[in-house]
Amino acid sequence: MNNINLEINIAGIKLKNPVIAASGCFGFGREYSRYFDLNRLGGIAVKGLTKLARKGNPPPRIAETPSGILNSVGLQNPGVKTFIEKEIPFLRSYGIAIIANASGNTIEDYEYMVEILSSADVDGIELNLSCPNVKEGCMSFGSTSNGVFEVVSRVKKKAGKPLIVKLTPNVTDITEIARAAETAGADSVSLINTLLGMAIDAKTKRPILGNVTGGLSGPAVKPIALRMVYQVSKAVKIPIIGMGGISNGTDAVEFLLAGASAVMLGTAGFVNPMAWVETIEGLEKYMIENNVKSVTELIGGLIA
């Protein structure tokens, strides 16, 4: 037996370890439960939810790229009420934190989502601000500090659970966006969401994705994600959940050293369904080998 402590508290969300399944890549956990015991996880950020069910974008929705994938799934989901009725009971059969990911096309959508989820049996709410604001010409809510401040300050009034604001990297200054979220009342921030990209089939001269553009994720984005987590850690005082290209324990340690208090894995699971478990085991091994008693000792420990 070892005496290491992997427990972490993110703005009131208690995690047995800092490894969380990222939204959009883990569904509601049912499929991956066939591969490993979900109790091993610190938590699950469920698939992005909307007020009503969505069918998503036209196919093809996935395109493989060097060291990553592009996706344009389009938030296909059964709707928030179906999630509450059918998926929460399944997830509550495990001893893990449940983080609901909320999306919308108007501020009123977000207010509705946060209010209904605050009454549900979840541990926290992750606000996806990469959605298009239909009232502002479909510009992403998260692309400007004013937009972030407006939506977060409004929904915070409805939030009865810890509010995590998920930041898009498709901005000029990520620290400005993070500070706006913190000032507006965010309890935590998670970053990075996917980078906007596209793929073209030279033979057909057509876009590979049905929606033309999509979000890039996977190992290719890790250096950018690390840099942004590090910068945001110097700009805000609220906890940071880092993500972007994490595939193993070493990657997780790097994000913790950069200033994250927890990490999310997503795309890695498409290649290796055991990526989450192996990341936890890799983190444990690192701590034992380096005489780190508590995972909190690693947070922000970068020597620069």
The answer on pLDDT for 132 being more than 60 is no
Confidence of residue 2 (pLDDT cuts 50, 70, 90): confident
The torsion angles phi and psi of 294, rounded to 5 degrees, stand at -130, 140
What DSSP element (H or E) covers 65? strand 62-65
The stretch 132-140 carries a mean pLDDT of 50
- Nearest-5° Cα angle at 250, 231 to 23: 65
Determine which one of 73, 96, 131, 277 is catalytic.
Answer: 131
Write out the H or E segment, with its range, that includes residue 195: strand 195-198
| Contacts of 279 by beta carbon, 8 Å cutoff, 6+ apart | 19, 246, 247, 248, 249, 251, 252, 263, 265, 268
How far is the C-alpha of 206 from the C-alpha of 202, rounded, in Å? 7
Catalytic residue status for 138 = no
131 confidence band (pLDDT: 50, 70, 90): low
* Coil, helix or strand at residue 24: coil
Q: 63 exposed, middle or buried (CB, 10 Å; 0-12, 13-18, 19+)?
A: buried
Residue 135 scores a pLDDT above 80? no
Mean pLDDT of the chain: 95
Span 8-56+75-197+217-298 CATH architecture: Alpha-Beta Barrel (3.20)
Mean pLDDT in residue range 59-64: 96
How many CB atoms sit inside 10 A of residue 37's CB?
A: 9
User: Is residue 241 reached through a cis peptide bond, with omega within 30 degrees of 0 on the bond before it?
Assistant: no
- Does this model's pTM top 0.85? My answer is yes
pLDDT of 133 reads: 45
**What are 229's two structure tokens?**
């987590």
Span 229-238, average pLDDT: 98
